[in-house]
Amino acid sequence: MGKLLLLSLFWLCSCVGSGVPDPQRLALLPPLPYRIAVGGGAMLATEQRDPGGVEVWKGGEVLRTYDGRDLEPVPFAELVGLLRRGRLASQVVALDMDDLPARERLAFGRNRPEEIERARLLAEGQGADLLLILEGLRDAPVIELGLNDRWPIATAAWLMVGLGMFIPDHSYESQVSVRATLRDVHTGAVLVDDILVSPGSVDLSLVERTTWLGIVTSILVPPPLVWSEPEEYGSSVREVAGDLIALRLLARLKRPQTLAQLRRALPLGVELVPGREGLELVVRSRQELLSLAVEMGAERRALAEASLQTLLAALRASRALDPAGEGFVYRAPLPASEGARLVRVIVGTAAGERVSTTWHQSDL
């Protein structure tokens, strides 16, 4: 009977949402149809660094989430790895910029055109369509939000089986933030500029938010009523803040609104859609098509010239007024990809506009 009660309590606990994005569910969402190069990083702003460490706890408050000793509290490789596992895009690549000072200059180089241009050229050389720049990390306090809606479960678990200390019954919030921008690789223009993510709320159990004395006290006092220690809950929040930032960045970028923003900002639309003869390339533009390139696979193998010219001629011949808006729409069947899983299309117009996009065959 006791085991059944315990299982029921933990099941109820799992049913109460924590607001943390589910990485598996995020991975199931459609990826952005681009090859995205990621640069910069989640480095601390210069004025927030202190090699000797800064005061983090004072007067019962957590003044800062991080102590200023670590230049990059959220490791770049971990961020990129999560974006890959979460299928942010058809392909995610780290910008070929291994030097930490160079990544730092890019992260804080919003007003330095030479840094943006250097990164743009690197991304273009890696066959990227978009450049995601992580523009540093702004440290901030951890706020104690108090009891959450799991406190009745924690109290019941304490009464029945004495394990209420393991139920996350209090919530906290780190106000640390990371800013990012998505840029067009071909022009360097900012396409999406309102990307700002924080860890959000974190639910902690008694064993994660207090000292051994508080845990001992919970023998007599229900865990939700036992005090929290700033050093304990601050450390617990710090341990998960980086992962939460990465998850919330992934969730923000995979929102349908992000793809809509990108398509509005780019000078022409390029899509692959199912057609009668396989995949069909659809281009929407206000200008005449001037150039076309198609690359297959991760190695970016170029489509045979004869096939490419046939495709370009078919697109031009199909020109019609776009019923969805101003300009023209072009359609033509895409030649067989010869087993390649990635297909990249680069389109240029007579006005000098250039847009590229990349699809993974499994997403079509």
Regarding whether 271 and 161 lie in a shared domain, the answer is: no
Each residue's pLDDT tens digit, 74-118: 999 999 999 999 999 999 999 998 788 999 999 998 889 999 999
Domain shared by 271 and 245, yes or no: no
* One domain for residues 159 and 234: yes
Q: How confident is residue 344, by pLDDT bands cut at 50, 70 and 90?
A: very high
Indicate the number of domains in the chain.
2
Same domain, 126 and 183: yes
Does residue 64 sit in the same domain as residue 78? Answer: yes
**Whole-number pLDDT of residue 83:** 97
pLDDT of residue 275: 76
**Mean residue pLDDT across the chain:** 89
Quick check: 126 pLDDT over 60?
Answer: yes
Question: pLDDT tens digit string along 27-40?
Answer: 999 999 999 999 99
**Domain with 271 in it: what CATH number?**
2.60.40
Q: Which of 239, 262, 285 is the last residue of a domain?
A: 262
Examine the domain organization and report whether 126 and 243 are in the same domain: yes
pLDDT, one tens digit per residue, over 186-245 is: 999 999 998 999 999 999 999 999 999 999 999 999 999 999 999 999 999 999 999 999
pLDDT tens-digit map of 279-298 = 899 999 999 999 999 998 88
250-272: per-residue pLDDT in tens? 999 999 999 999 999 999 999 98
Of the pLDDT bands very low, low, confident and very high (cuts 50, 70, 90), residue 19 is: low
Residues 258 and 327 in one domain: no
Q: What is the mean pLDDT of residues 305-318?
A: 93
Q: Is residue 13 predicted with pLDDT exceeding 70? A: no
Check whether residue 146 and residue 53 sit in a common domain: yes
Residues 212 and 143 in one domain: yes
Average pLDDT over residues 305-320: 93
Predicted pLDDT at 175: 93
Three-class SS string for the chain?
A: CHHHHHHHHHHHHHHCCCCCCCHHHHHHCCCEEEEEEEEEEEEECHHHCCCCCCCCEECCEECCCCCCCCCCCECHHHHHHHHHHCCCEEEEEECCCCCHHHHHHHHCCCCCHHHHHHHHHHHHHCCCCEEEEEEEEECCCEEEEEECCCHHHHHHHHHHCCCHHHCCCEEEEECCEEEEEEEECCCCCEEEEEEEECCEEEEECHHHHCCHHHHHHCCCCCHHHCCCCHHHHHHHHHHHHHHHHHHHHHHHHCCHHHHHHHHHHCCCEEEEEEECCEEEEEEEECCCEEEEEEEECCCCEECCHHHHHHHHHHHHHCCEECCCCCCEEEEEECCCCCCCCEEEEEEEECCCCEEEEEEEHHHC
**Is the pLDDT assigned to residue 8 strictly greater than 70?**
no
Are 216 and 80 contained in the same domain?
yes
Q: What local confidence, expressed as pLDDT, does residue 299 receive?
A: 87
* pLDDT tens digits, 63-72: 889 988 889 9
Residue 338 pLDDT: 62
> How much is the pLDDT for 18?
55
pLDDT score, position 364:
67
**End of a domain among 229, 262, 295?**
262
Same domain flag for 199 and 329: no
**Of 135, 110, 125, 177, residue with least CA distance to 39:** 135
25 and 95 belong to one structural domain: yes
- Pick from 243, 262, 281: which residue ends a domain? 262
Give the residue numbers spanning the domain of 254: 2-262
